[in-house]
């Protein structure tokens, strides 16, 4: 069997592909494990400065593979040992893991992004979609609520009433409407190429500033002004006058690309502990 998730790294850009095209990249339990592991690997790799997340075949991800429930014990504990009681839990991790990656994650969407696939996409920092792509929360179709972190990602993208309508109806939204609602950042007929170009641009910037910028926005968008200003000050002190920041200045003055060292911040937890 081929790898369920493939990773190619070139010039500090990692291209992570969901690779179950015969099933429209539907999420079975091995896919859950492989996607979470890929995100964790991206968090550890200090050579990576930007990530592109895409799907092989005819669509990004069709959501949960219903074969997961064949022989499922309805009387058992779905959130049993190793599945729940911690957060993000087993089911939330394939999506939420991308928020903890300390570099920008750009999701390239084509075909469908339904249910779990939709929630994985929403956890990326930026989404570029084909105009003809189709997105849906979808869980209501199975009598469920979205349980792969959409409660924590949709709130940063759309109004509450929009999130409620999509959650209550499972309505399919095409790319053009998705962009107008804020579900996707912008449209492109070739979202993978556009995402790789954007990732290459980001990878040419100071990795310390990019990592701190992601942390700053993710951790101050909600909350008090004073706390946000405190975090802003704390992060700037981590990077100002350091080697990569000085290299940015010199590269700009000399009109050349920056020659950056690996970021000196390992993970977001590294920032939290200062």
β-pairing, 112-114 with 50-55?
unpaired
Q: 15 has which bridge partners?
A: 8, 52
Q: 109 has which bridge partners?
A: 129
Average pLDDT over residues 133-138: 98
pLDDT at 38 over 90: yes
Residue 263 tokens, joined: 């970021």
Per-residue model confidence (pLDDT) at position 72: 58
pLDDT at 71 over 60: no
pLDDT-above-90 percentage for the chain: 86
Other beta carbons within 10 angstroms of residue 209's beta carbon come to 21
Cβ-in-10-Å burial (0-12, 13-18, 19+) of 55 comes to buried
Average pLDDT over residues 162-175: 98
pLDDT at 77 over 90: no
Q: What CA–CA distance (Å, rounded) separates 116 from 137?
A: 8
Per-residue model confidence (pLDDT) at position 189: 98
Q: What CA–CA distance (Å, rounded) separates 148 from 114?
A: 12
pLDDT in tens, 92-127: 999 999 999 999 999 999 999 999 999 999 999 999
Contact 51, 42 (CB under 8 A): yes
Average pLDDT over residues 248-271: 92
Grade residue 265 by pLDDT with cuts at 50, 70 and 90. confident
Query: Whole-prediction pTM value?
Result: 0.94
Domains 5-202 and 205-272 share a fold: no
Cα–Cα distances (Å) from 49 to 189, 196, 198, 208, in that order, read 25, 12, 12, 9
* 5-202 CATH pick, 3.40.50.300, 3.90.226.10, 3.30.70.20, 3.30.420.40: 3.90.226.10
Q: What CA–CA distance (Å, rounded) separates 34 from 152?
A: 22
H helical segments located in the chain: 29-44, 93-96, 116-122, 150-153, 160-169, 175-181, 191-203, 207-220, 225-239, 243-254, 268-272
Average pLDDT over residues 61-90: 75
CATH tag, 205-272: 1.10.12.10
Per-residue model confidence (pLDDT) at position 264: 85
Average pLDDT over residues 244-272: 92
Average pLDDT, the chain: 94
Average pLDDT over residues 262-266: 86
pLDDT at 1 over 50: no
Average pLDDT over residues 26-40: 97
The residues, ordered by sequence, that sit 6+ positions from 28 with a Cβ below 8 Å of its Cβ are 20, 65, 67, 68
Q: What CA–CA distance (Å, rounded) separates 128 from 157?
A: 14
Per-residue model confidence (pLDDT) at position 83: 78
pLDDT at 274 over 70: no
CA 91 to chain centre: 15
Q: What CA–CA distance (Å, rounded) separates 140 from 161?
A: 16
Residue boundaries of the structural domains of the chain: 5-202, 205-272
CA 119 to chain centre: 9
């Amino acid at each position: 069997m081929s790898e369920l998730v493939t990773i190619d790294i070139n010039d500090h850009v990692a291209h992570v592909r969901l690779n179950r095209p015969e099933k429209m990249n539907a999420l079975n339990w091995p896919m859950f494990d492989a996607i979470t592991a890929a995100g964790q690997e991206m968090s550890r790799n200090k050579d990576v400065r930007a990530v592109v997340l895409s799907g092989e075949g005819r669509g990004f991800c069709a959501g949960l593979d219903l074969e997961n429930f064949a022989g499922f014990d309805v009387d058992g504990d779905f959130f049993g040992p190793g599945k729940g009681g911690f957060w993000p839990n087993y089911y939330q991790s394939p999506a939420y893991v991308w928020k903890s990656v300390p570099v920008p994650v750009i999701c390239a969407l084509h075909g469908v992004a339904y249910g779990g696939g939709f929630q994985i996409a929403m956890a990326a920092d930026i989404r570029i979609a084909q105009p003809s792509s189709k997105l849906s929360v979808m869980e209501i179709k199975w009598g469920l609520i979205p349980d792969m972190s959409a409660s924590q990602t949709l709130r940063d993208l759309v109004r509450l009433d929009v999130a409620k309508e999509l959650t209550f109806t499972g309505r399919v939204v095409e790319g053009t409407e998705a962009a107008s609602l804020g579900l996707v950042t912008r449209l492109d007929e070739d979202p993978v190429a556009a995402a790789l170009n954007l990732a290459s641009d980001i990878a040419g910037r100071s990795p310390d500033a990019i990592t701190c910028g992601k942390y700053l926005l993710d951790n101050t968008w909600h909350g008090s002004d004073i706390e946000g200003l405190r975090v802003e000050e704390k992060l700037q002190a981590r990077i100002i006058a350091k080697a990569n920041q000085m290299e940015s200045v010199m590269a700009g003055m000399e009109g050349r690309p920056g020659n950056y060292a690996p970021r000196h911040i390992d993970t977001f937890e590294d920032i939290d502990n200062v």
